[in-house]
Amino acid sequence: MNVKLRKRHRYIWMVLGIALPLLCLEAIEAIPQNVIADIPRHSCTLDIGVCGIDDTDYPIVIEQVQNNNTLSVQVKAPLKSAFTLAYLSASQELDENATLLGAIHTMGKYSFDIEDQIGSYLLLVDKLNDKTLYHQLIKSSTK
């Protein structure tokens, strides 16, 4: 390697030594936010045509007993929320007309007394983060 190549090599490495960290910082800032990170793992996106709990591995089982107007919710897996409330609503989103059923604290079976609310949605809402974790259209089913 002659003198001219050594000088060129030195300048190239100095430029790379300054440019590479700056380019890395710029690339880190340009990473897009993960758009599906806020969607809970056990929910379906609002306004999708068919949304429900057809899968047997789903952590929530809903059963409505017609004869005594009881809604049973069985939570088979831990929810990723510290403060979850169950509501009945006419739409898939929580509004001021939604009826509070009760709190869901841990895994287990919960029973709620309801009026004739067939056609309503059961909503599980994380009140701390103000997010709807789960919604399901209530259909009548008997044992």
pLDDT tens for each residue of 2-56: 999 999 999 999 999 999 999 999 998 888 777 566 655 555 554 444 444 444 4
pLDDT at position 74 over 70: yes
The structure tokens listed for 48 are 């999708």
* CB distance 129 to 83 below 8 Å: no
Average pLDDT over residues 105-120: 75
Q: What is the pLDDT of residue 133?
A: 78
What stretch of H or E contains 3? helix 3-29
* CB distance 126 to 133 below 8 Å: yes
Note the pTM of the prediction, 2 decimals: 0.53
